[in-house]
Structures are given as C-alpha cells and as structure tokens.
Structure 1
C-alpha cells in the first residue's frame, strides 16, 4: 500500500468545505466538523499523540489504533448529537490528554488490541464533545464526517512526526514532546 498516496487522499478529503465562498452558511456541517477538532488545543494534542503513539507501537498498530480512535469517536459524536449523557466529558478530555502524553513520553508498549481499547475510551469523550457542539444549522452527517476527516489528518501528523525521529536525540525529543502533552493535560485537569 502506498501510504503517501493514502495520506494525501485523506488530507484532501479533509478539506471539502474550503472552497465554500458563503462564509457563515455552512449548513451542510462538513466545514464546521472539519474545523471543530482544530478549535481546541486539547483535541489537537490528543489526536496528534494518538498517531505518534500508534507509530511508536509499529506494525499494524500504526493504522489500527488511529482507526479505533476515529470509529469510537464517531460513536461518541452521535451520542453527543442525540443527547445521550456522558458524565464528566471535559474532565475526561483533560485526562485523555495527560494519559496519551504519558504513553508517548514513556513509549509504553502494549498489544495492539489493548492500545485500541485505550484510545477508544479517549475517543468517546472527544467524540461526545464534538457531537454535543453540533451547530444548530448544520447537517449532522456532514458534521460527523468533517470531524472524522480532520481527526485522521491530525493522526497522520502524529504518525509523520514519529517517523521523523532519528537516533537517540530523536527519541529524547519525542519523549519530551510526550511529557509536554502530559503536562498540558495536567494543567487542563487543574482547570
């Protein structure tokens, strides 16, 4: 499989609403969905960390772990859209940032299935937050597709960053980046 073509295709799919000349009238929801994951540092850090951690796990985990995140996030998004309650969503999101940062910082190695479960739990909170913030005029299907596409792009950024680590210095920089993400999560938890 040509991963460069796949990454480029996914990046292009994440940008369907950019050409929309009617600013403020994104009633299809796609552009609102694409922009939502980029609207908060907590979402960006968590989603890039998922891609980074998946890449350090290697093998099939590089794609299965982010796919698990995106799939469960869509479920969480639908829960949010339809008003299904999930307790402590904001606290859960902050905890996921801290946990994912620690997983990157310590390069925690677990089986792919366990990693998929871990990121799935994280994704449920992020998806619920995305879904509960569906703009009033937006089409839910487009919105969900939009935030899923944006999440894939953020995962690909994390995978790409992890692949840039070379030698001992690269490993140290990766661990420091994970520690910084964990610290940001701790700050979010503290409020």
Structure 2
C-alpha cells in the first residue's frame, strides 16, 4: 500500500528577503501614519518574537537596502523619513489592495436622451440661441435656411437662419470623501482608521 512521504519544506526561489520585509514595512507605515522610526521599531519587535530575519539578512541590512533603493532618507542622528518614492509606493499598494480584485462587468456608459455640452456631435440640430457656441454652427443647414427664407435674389444670412449642431450630453460630478475619526473607529479593539486611510490615498 502506497502511503505519503513527508519531507522538510524548502521554499522555492521567489521574493528576496528585502522584498518580503519591504511588504511588511509598507503595511506598518499605514498604521504609523508614515512614521519610519515607529515602523522600524515594530519590525524589530516582530523580529524578536517571530524571527522574520536571519543571520544572513538582518534588520541592519534591510535598513541599508531601504536607503540604497531610495525608500527612506537619513535626516541625521539616525532619524529616518520617507521619500517621495515610498509615498508613491504606499498609494500604489493601497489602490491595488482596494481595486485589484475588481472584475469586468457590463459597460458603465450611462446613456441619456438629453443633449448638452459634450465631446461627440449628435445628428440633431436646433435653432441658434444666445449663448450657443459659434463653433457648433451647422454651415450647410444654415445656408440652406437662408436660401429658403430669403431666396437667391435677396440672399443674406441672418441670426434666424443659423442652426446649431447639437452634442451628446456629458455629465460631470464631484466626489467628496468624508472619514469618521471619532472614538467609534477604534472601539472594541477594531482598527477602522487604517482601511479609511487607504481609501483616502
């Protein structure tokens, strides 16, 4: 009877030690509101309890790589601050986490029967009114109206002859993001502030 053979798990080559620690570092920065010193302090505490580093690659090596790769900068007296590269990475990770699992559905184009100020021209036209853009005048239809209204012998083009080519309606909207920062956001030990920060970014 054939059974199961168990052996020691040997992880395949993938992410480097720096990449693994960097993911954790970026997550911790969300909780510390971008405080590099506090995030590194938390990583040292996690390392003491869970051994996330080893003799070949320690926290000192990780900090050196952060500086070499331009994620943090030293302001003096071993005080570190974020660089623009880190801020961009935090925003990118937040977007991927929030919107990365979205799936394609049907088209989101919301059609309307109304015309208005848009980019695409419509097949409809209307009489010229004060305030209409001159660039939307339909020259062919306007000249035709002038011929019908005044004849060829007394041909002239007046305001009443002008026709405007209408455009498809294009709606605009503004989005306002409001975040609750009251005590209820951390009530019962639940952290709701950090997800709110990610949405805000």
Quick check: TM above 0.5?
A: no
Q: Larger Cα Rg: Structure 1 or Structure 2?
A: 2
Higher relative contact order (CA 8 A, sep 6+): 1
Structure (1 or 2) with the greater strand fraction: 2
TM-score, with normalisation over the residues of structure 1?
A: 0.26
Structure (1 or 2) with the greater helix fraction: 1
